[in-house]
Amino acid sequence: MEILCCPECSAELKEENDALLCTGCGRRFQVESGIPLLYPEDLDREHLREEKKLGKEMITPSADRKVSVSGKEWERSKQEFWNYVQVQASSMEKGIFLNIGCGVDLGYLRLGRPGIILAGLDIVPQLIDHLREKGMDFGVAGSVHRLPVRENSFDALCCTDLVHHEWERAEMILARFHSILKPGGMLFLEDINAWGLGQFYKSILLPKNIHGTLRKLYHRVRGTENPPAEYEFPTSVFRIRKMMQELGFRDITAVPLESCPNSGRVFRRFYRLASRLPRVAEYHNFHYMLTARK
């Protein structure tokens, strides 16, 4: 309760008959199997339904689904991310972590140890429930547009593969991340990089609408099972880094990444070679990983 607030007016919440009541605007929020549903009034319900459908597939993937080499590289990229966070966080004796858009990424749970509280936020309560069963301490359902958590509450924030869903709101989202961190708290951000070696000629050189149309066509012809949503767009590592600087984050670091998701064998070989240059490994991977301190 000390970290939660009303998504609408940011006032404190109090418990009342198995629900949470805002002490400011008076809105009531349901709690479902221990998970407060702190959605803002203007939540896109259609989007929530879509995400719930996807979430189901994430929890119980169809049995005949094969993990491609590219899928394995994707897994590896997550491992790299969590390995790095684990090392960075190892000096922390106690504290509260929040994983924003936690999904079903079990890598997060590796950070759990005595003194550390692992909290997760996602729009889909079923995903939070799944992570809680596996050992996450606490979860809250909400929207990244209006995070229902109080300022200066967290010792560390993790956020992977979310910003490209919200590229138009990136600055607002990063500003909110800054405000909910405690002074000195760490941000660990990973997302799809417009400047990735394999994608910059599309995401940087092509106008967004042409890129969008071509991408849609490509995935339709190919019959991709889970094509990227139309509202998604990779963000530039340089733009995000600049936003972080302007918001007052310090010690901003681009972490070099080895894995090479979403690519073929030949390109992977090319990336391995090119990424011997530190600048390529830091700024031109399929993903970028930026860390910073408040």
Residues that bind Zn ion (CB under 5 A): 6, 8-9, 11, 22, 24-25
- DSSP per residue over 148-181, as a string? -B-TT-EEEEEEES-GGGSGGGHHHHHHHHHHHE
We find the least distance from the C-beta atom of residue 11 to Zn ion, in angstroms, to be 5
We find the least distance from the C-beta atom of residue 42 to Zn ion, in angstroms, to be 14
Angstrom distances, CA of residue 14 to CA of 36, 80, 147: 12, 39, 17
We find the least distance from the C-beta atom of residue 141 to Zn ion, in angstroms, to be 16
For residues 164 and 235, give the distance between their C-alpha atoms in angstroms, rounded to a whole number. 6
Question: In this complex, which beta carbon is closest to Zn ion, that of residue 24 or of residue 228?
Answer: 24
Ramachandran quadrant class, 14 (left: phi over 0; alpha: psi -120 to 50; beta: rest): beta
We find the least distance from the C-beta atom of residue 121 to Zn ion, in angstroms, to be 18
Tell me the residue number closest to Zn ion, measured at CB.
Answer: 6
Report how far apart the first and last C-alpha atoms of the chain are (Å, whole number). Answer: 23
We find the least distance from the C-beta atom of residue 179 to Zn ion, in angstroms, to be 17
Question: In this complex, which beta carbon is closest to Zn ion, that of residue 7 or of residue 103?
Answer: 7
Question: In this complex, which beta carbon is closest to Zn ion, that of residue 23 or of residue 86?
Answer: 23
Question: In this complex, which beta carbon is closest to Zn ion, that of residue 2 or of residue 46?
Answer: 2
For residues 94 and 203, give the distance between their C-alpha atoms in angstroms, rounded to a whole number. 41
Question: In this complex, which beta carbon is closest to Zn ion, that of residue 8 or of residue 122?
Answer: 8
